[in-house]
Chain A
Amino acid sequence: MSGLDATQQASRPGLLRRLAARLRARASAGAGLGFAPRLTLLLLLGPVAAGLIGTALPAFGYLPALGGEGFTLAPWRAFLEAPGVSRAIVISFTTGVLASAVSLAIVVLFCAAWHGTRVFSALQRLLSPLLSLPHATVAFGLAFLIAPSGWLMRLVSPWATGLERPPDLIVVNDPAGLALVAGLVVKEVPFLLLMTLAALGQAEAAERRTVARSLGYGPMTAWLKGVLPVVYPQVRLPVFAVLAFSMSVVDVALILGPSTPPTLAVQLVKWFHDPDLARRFVASAGAVVQLGLVVAAIALWWLVERAVARLGRLWIVSGRRGRGDLWLRLLAAGTVVLSFGSALFGLLGMAVWSLAGFWRYPDALPGSWTLANWARHADEIATPAVNTLTIGLAAAAVAAVLAVACLEHEAQSGRRAGARALWLLYLPLLIPQIAFLFGAQVLLVTLRLDGWWLAVAWSHLVFVLPYVFLSLSDPYRSWDDRYARSARCLGASWWRMFWRVKLPMLLRPILIAAAVGFAVSAGLYLPTLFAGAGRTPTLLTEAISLSAGGDRRIIGIYAILQLVTPFIAFALALITPAFVYRHRRGMQVTR
């Protein structure tokens, strides 16, 4: 029958008609999205790849613009001979690994101890506000809190310490980098907790734990033996991202980290911006070292992971029930409360500073309150505020469009992006920023695009896109596709279905993903610094350059602004759909 049919249709007009029908079918099936994943990867990995090459070449002496015409190992010699370099390498490595390990340990212990309890959901509610904060803001807050002249010391002085003036202690910027570790932990615990929560949703965690507990295991042991082995593989990439970030972070290290010598990444940024242009070759060599350092740390982590997994297996089959774990549970809750608490109190401290008039040491609160600080700096805030808003909105909007296009292509082709695609998505987060941003800047200078608003927005896109995609992919994939089939069978073309049914129904997750993207953009320091060439200041870069001056009132003002901007983005993302669908109960969030 179908063969007969084919011969009938093979006549010329029939053939044309069939071709036309097929073209029409393709258009209406929305098949035009095949470009989306490729374009996204190009925008994402293009700058990374070009930047890595652009950094690696000068490391071997090749950068014609600065007179480096041939290949030489001189930059490497200069790098290795630079004072303090080995110490900087050690500090970067130890603080990064320590911060990641401590963050992961806190998250794992806390989930093991409290997942599914009221304590857990109470702390979970604080997660989103903490996540939307830039790293630097949290770091400023922590510095305000723990500095010798900070809030903690003021609260216990003079009645407990007898101090009338700040003690001569190095707490912030300590040479071992412990303050830096603390600042990173406070910010990475919420991130890893969020990632673990997402993984827990798919792991039948409650059921697994119940089974283990019914076999006589204590609550923590039940979780560690029954749930963690399923959850950890899904958290591994975020952990690597935390590791890479912690080892190469610049803004947090400038605020909290040691200064003589600083961490490697901070030292490299100084060299990259040294008036002596020859330093750029040395910095490039150092950037390659920084990349190697991160790769080595990830490899080391992976080996330790294997060892822990092997020991863990022995522990699992040992049958030990681990029932006396109350003290450990309290410790786990304590660390999370401490971590969340320092972030929140730090923010409060900055808000107080921004409104402080005269504030004597060791008074716990200012003697007088004033808005004069805000009024005095209103003018200089305008430009960075506008830059932060426009760049963040542009990057978040483009990222949301690309993420939707990729996910829609995936939905149509039925091929879900696999584990390898996830690695590609994480790549910009796994490669230290300093290792490719200089190269990308060289490229921008060659194209005469450096310092341009668009260049900054594009460089932000590279980091915004992964988060937007990760945030949107779960809700997008779990959307009930039968709504689409229903709409199509009611005679709606693909476009009509997409615009009238799918997008409106996914409005909330799309806006939330965009808000996540905006928050990420607002917290980006190095990309702004390099692509902006100092001519496109944002609230964050301004705050950091002001931090050297140490005026707490103005730092407080910038920190509060950094807190407010992502907050507004999230508020809009939540309020808009709630308002649009205020008469639609089926569109309201039931959780």
Chain B
Amino acid sequence: MSPGVALQVGPGVLVRVLIEGLGTAGLFVMIASGLTLIFGLMGVLNFAHGALTTVGAYVGGGLLVYLASGGGGLGSLGLWFVALGATGVVLAGLGAVIEVGLIRKLYGRAPIEQILLTFGVALVLQELLLMLLGNWQSGLPDPTSSWGQPIVEGPSFMAAGRSFDVLGVSIRGFTPIKILLGVLVVVGVWGFLTKTRYGLYIRAGTEDAEMAQALGIDVQRVFTVVFAVGIGLAGMAGMFLIWERTYDLTYLMGAEALLPAFIIVVVGGLGTFKGTVVASVVAGIFFEAGIFLQTNVFQGLTQLNNILIFLLLVVVLIVRPQGLYGQEEVGGH
């Protein structure tokens, strides 16, 4: 490596990679916590999670466009959070419908069949999204490419292009809110799991669904709630993916984001929330380190961020197949 490279990798770079990495970890944890809760409780590895994230991106983006055209202006912080919350609610509803209508029919069958079912749901959702956007003649640009100017630029109070300084390092405008949301989700889900009655039901169901049912817990309803909450969180994360520089807003965006989320869930240990949080942070920092390296050091390698995360998966699966905090019998044959 040239001496120029050595100069670039100073403490400032480390701080930036760390902070940006935590921001990415915030998004990852929003997508992956639903995935891990659903797997832990129901044993379903949800391949449709990515497609539902994309649906969240379009619902959120659409709401922003309508709120902006209503005169409120995209810059208003309050309206922006209204859109975020509404996206979460809409997606949670969609998640509940999918659980009740489709997934419920397959409990008790082989785990492979559930993977296949959610894979099919993902395909259908992607195509439906493409179809709806094609039929929606409201002057929106081609849904397969980027989507509308106000959406592309992001809210003015934290425009995607804007950055500010932390410890002498410039941080992109969205990073603090992603970190904040990630922390809120971790604290919220953790509180929900440990401090509420429903959380108790979920933990009981994860431990032994049959026994929980025998003790009078309506496990079916707990399944539906967990699925809805997981999908709601993924939908909100989808809204942020619109402004992520590594993703293009296309109907396939969520599928791209799903792969790191899967890796996080497997690396953390299927079904453990703690493992997912830790793995999200590690993967987020790996991801940003990859982006830094591919823009500054190895300019030829445009996919280094993804390659680093996949290497993380391969190494963890070889060294500790059950994941960082997983139990050995979960997820095997």
Q: Do A and B come from the same complex?
A: no
* A residues with CB within 8 A of B: none
* B residues with CB within 8 A of A: none
